[in-house]
Chains A and B, each alone.
Chain A
């Protein structure tokens, strides 16, 4: 991770105590060797690094809660089950993320503002 991103991630977690309960989640979200979700998705302002990435939709808390934790985890595990044409990687199926990391990311997304 670039130093700027690492600093922004740390600062965001300090600013949002609720999200700091799972400190690894934002790390998983931004690290190129992990989810690297930040490459395609934008987070709500103040949660993490500000980017212009838009290959995937902007992640808003209301939409995440509408989907629900289980669906979020299922999508992270293998989004092609719901949409065979999606460009999103199958993080679980391709073993990019472990089950506990998918749990952490699912909880992180579910708690977004």
Chain B
């Protein structure tokens, strides 16, 4: 199959993947995919899972070399995951199969709570249910490490986030925020990640919106940085007051991004250069 045919086939599969009953979500994804392909036609959609590294062979090679640096964080996360609570239970006991192969379906819409539940929230729900102190949502040593380990248990699983009709508003709110210009610099997330993927802002290659949710947390300077922590950094660059980690706003943006990544393989704990 010629590259263009192959890319079109992957693009169609990406656009249609996922168990959505919300047809508009697929339409949104197809439109974003078309814009990304127009902005960076040389990159196959399947490579979007690599994030910014999809556009930069030099970065890809450098990251490959440093891949081992994630091991210590994952090991620390395993300790957090298996540490016994005062009641003798563990975080692992709160999740099906000890947390194996569950990350691909997160975030999820909880119809009882009427809100999006991220993996981080699910971890804190477990702590709360067991009378344990909650973790700070984006704190690298506790929540970050736990999420690093938990997500490592789903490596290579394909993202499969569901947007039900009841969750339509949350997805739409995430989309709206992603495309809304904010802050003193007047950037939207989409200014960089839909309009300018593959281009360099300072020395950083800008990642595409599709695939952006597949490789979290990233490991930077030996610390696990969650997707929401990274979005907060972007908001600061935009000159906007960052939404708190775990806020409705960031949960909805994460939900939107995770849906866009449906069909792409998860690969947690990729190492990124220190700033």
Q: A residues within 8 Å of B by Cβ?
A: 38-40, 51-55, 80, 85, 87, 89-90, 94-96
Contact = CB atoms under 8 A, between A and B. Distances in A.
Contact of B202 (A51, A87, A90, A94): A51
Contacts of B191: 87
Contacts of A38: 202
Given A51-B203, A80-B186, 13 more contacts: A40-B201, A53-B201, A53-B203, A54-B200, A55-B196, A55-B199, A55-B200, A85-B195, A87-B191, A87-B195, A89-B184, A89-B187, A96-B185
Interface string B133-164: 00000000000000000000000000000000
B7 interface: no
B76 interface: no
The DSSP consensus for interface residues of chain B is: loop
A90 B187 CA distance: 10
Contacts, number: 41
Contacts of B200: 51-55
B203 A52 contact: yes
13 contacts: A38-B202, A39-B201, A40-B201, A51-B202, A52-B203, A53-B202, A53-B203, A55-B200, A80-B186, A87-B195, A89-B187, A94-B186, A96-B185
B93 to A, nearest CB: 46
Question: Among B184, B187, B191, B202, which residue has the most Cβ atoms of chain A within 10 A?
Answer: B202
Contacts of A90: 186
Interface in B178-224: 184-187, 191-192, 195-196, 199-203, 206
Contacts of A54: 199-200
A87 to B, nearest CB: 4
Interface in B15-36: none
B184 A94 contact: yes
A90 B206 CA distance: 21
Nearest to B195: A87
A89 B201 contact: no
Nearest to A88: B186
Closest 7 CB pairs of A and B: A87-B191, A89-B185, A39-B202, A55-B199, A89-B186, A53-B200, A54-B199
